[in-house]
Amino acid sequence: MNRQSSVSAARPAHSTSPWWRGAVIYQVYPRSFLDTNGDGIGDLPGVTRRLDHIAALGVDAIWLSPFFTSPMNDFGYDVADYCDVDPIFGTLADFDALVARAHALGLKVMIDQVYAHTSDRHPWFAESRQSRDNPKADWYVWADPKPEGSPPSNWQSVFGGPAWTWDARRGQYYLHNFLGSQPQLNCHLPAVQDALLDVARFWLDRGVDGFRLDALNFAMHDPALRDNPPAPEDGLPRTRPFDFQLRKYNQSNSAIPAFIERIRALTDEYGAAFTMAEVGGADALREMHLYTHGNARLNSAYGFDFLYAEALTPALVAAAQADWPARPQEGWPSWAFENHDAPRALSRWCAPQDRPAFARIKMLLLVALRGNPIIYQGEELGLTQVDIPFDLLQDPEAIANWPLTLSRDGARTPMPWQAQAPEGGFTTGQPWLPLGPENLDRAADRQADDPASLLNLTRDLVALRRANPALRLGGFEVLEAGDALLVARRQAEGQAVLCLFNLSGREQAWPNGLVVKGRVLVAVNGATPGEALPAYGALMVEEKV
């Protein structure tokens, strides 16, 4: 080991819990993972080719962002065929090969499911918009204009402007909570639910082990189409009309949990299939608990506690963990510090000169949380946000709201595999987004050969979590959450682990009166039990119980 971090040998873990409880999940954004045909866009064969990299991290599962047939107006979250692979990513045979290889490596496979909306290129919508009396006429949310011709409600879309678009063929408006090319499905309709469950069954039959359910609280609307009330001033910037409303009626309908129970009943037919909801918005915590309550709804949900936070503080961590107490019938949380929609955490949470040390403590904290840690591709390399100039932007939200909305493209840049290869070994062509010179210096091949690298530390930390039941399954008891220090104890199956983090860039005194007796499992950035904690110093100690 090196002077910046040390990890002790792990002890075997024995648990009868389902595979997903406490699992570490690795998110793959296929478009930016590896391109095998030289078109500058990552593909499914590229994911398969680099599964060894993921398996070497020791994670339990991969989550694949959308690869379905799509016009790519929202990069796959506008689905034109739920049951096929877009040609830019490959074929169904390529997907089957990916699943087979992942399973051979001991990796579970999760995929996105987008049930709130489709692309306007989907055959369902093409049929629905033809008339008011065809078999799929009610599969989407259509409404007549107000008497003076304006939209039926004041609802606003996430990406800017009204959430209603006029369609002359039907002489009605259709609802879209995101892009105008993403019409809202009418999930109140049992036939639509049946069709979506058939989609889930299609992928489960191909060997998929679980689903991440995108924008789930947008899946149903208020059938009465009542206007949303204005949002009170909260001091936060408002860059879109969407920000001026309390989204009371265009999302979060009370009928969603009944649909969720149908989804869970289906996945239960497949044994260990895992379901994880994405839920955002001002009422997200209540909805996440609602959607995961008991044994008949979803297994887990992940919110946005960390994804857009300006700083990583003890108070933030303590509050997020307190929101998910270990109580009967309580849902199980999942956590991400960054993803394909949120800025890279190292670019948000620390000064450039502190990034090497901060990356180590950040990864240690992620694997220390109670729940499922989600590592976004490249996070194990310490990738940072790339500044994408306007003329190279691909993100429709950033283009529409330039320059006030931070581009999601900066976190979607290609993976750097080889430091000395053209385009970092990602492609032999022109990459769809630039890699960024800083990230090229953090290439996987360069880190694989460096015992002190973040990549190798991540492997050690994931192995440590897997082997210690307190870290994988235990509660999270906060002992101190001050301005800089976070002290917590995790306990399960007769094991207790004390976790100490100095989340500041300044040395902090050892907590007064805290006596540590036991084996040091891991220490980063020079931390030593009983001594002042260096800047971004952290350690875990297995206590005697």
Q: Is 33 left (phi over 0), alpha (psi -120 to 50) or beta?
A: alpha
Residues in the chain: 545
Q: Assess contact for 60 and 49: CB atoms under 8 A.
A: no
Q: Which residues are catalytic?
A: 214, 269
Helices and strands in the chain: count of H runs, count of E runs = 15, 19
Q: 500 forms bridges with which residues in the sheet?
A: 487, 539
The CA-CA-CA angle for residues 324, 329, 330, to 5°, reads 10
Stretch (H or E) spanning 334: strand 332-336
Give residue 36's pLDDT: 98
Give residue 6's pLDDT: 75
Task: Give this prediction's pTM.
Answer: 0.96
Q: What string of DSSP letters covers 168-209?
A: TTTTEEEE-SS-TTSPBB-TTSHHHHHHHHHHHHHHHHTT--
The CA-CA-CA angle for residues 211, 212, 216, to 5°, reads 120
SS3 289: helix
Give residue 330's pLDDT: 93
SS3 261: helix
Closest CA to 496 of 509, 477, 515, 511: 477
SS3 129: coil
Q: What string of DSSP letters covers 63-117?
A: EEPP-EE---TTTTSS-SEEEEE-TTT--HHHHHHHHHHHHHTT-EEEEEE--SB
Radius of gyration of the chain (CA): 23
Give residue 395's pLDDT: 81
The structural domains of the chain, ordered by start, are: 20-118+189-466 (3.20.20.80), 475-543 (2.60.40.1180)
pLDDT tens-digit profile, the chain (545 residues): 344 777 765 454 456 889 999 999 999 999 999 999 999 999 999 999 999 999 999 999 999 999 999 999 999 999 999 999 999 999 999 999 999 999 999 999 999 999 999 999 999 999 999 999 999 999 999 999 999 999 999 999 998 899 999 999 999 999 999 999 999 999 999 999 999 999 999 999 999 999 999 999 999 999 999 999 999 998 888 888 999 999 999 999 999 999 999 999 999 999 989 999 999 988 999 999 999 999 999 999 998 999 999 999 999 999 999 999 999 999 999 999 999 999 999 999 999 999 999 999 999 999 999 999 999 999 999 999 998 888 888 887 777 777 666 678 989 999 999 999 999 999 999 999 999 999 999 999 999 999 999 999 999 999 999 999 999 999 999 999 999 999 999 999 999 999 999 999 999 999 999 999 999 999 999 999 999 999 999 999 999 87
Give residue 15's pLDDT: 61
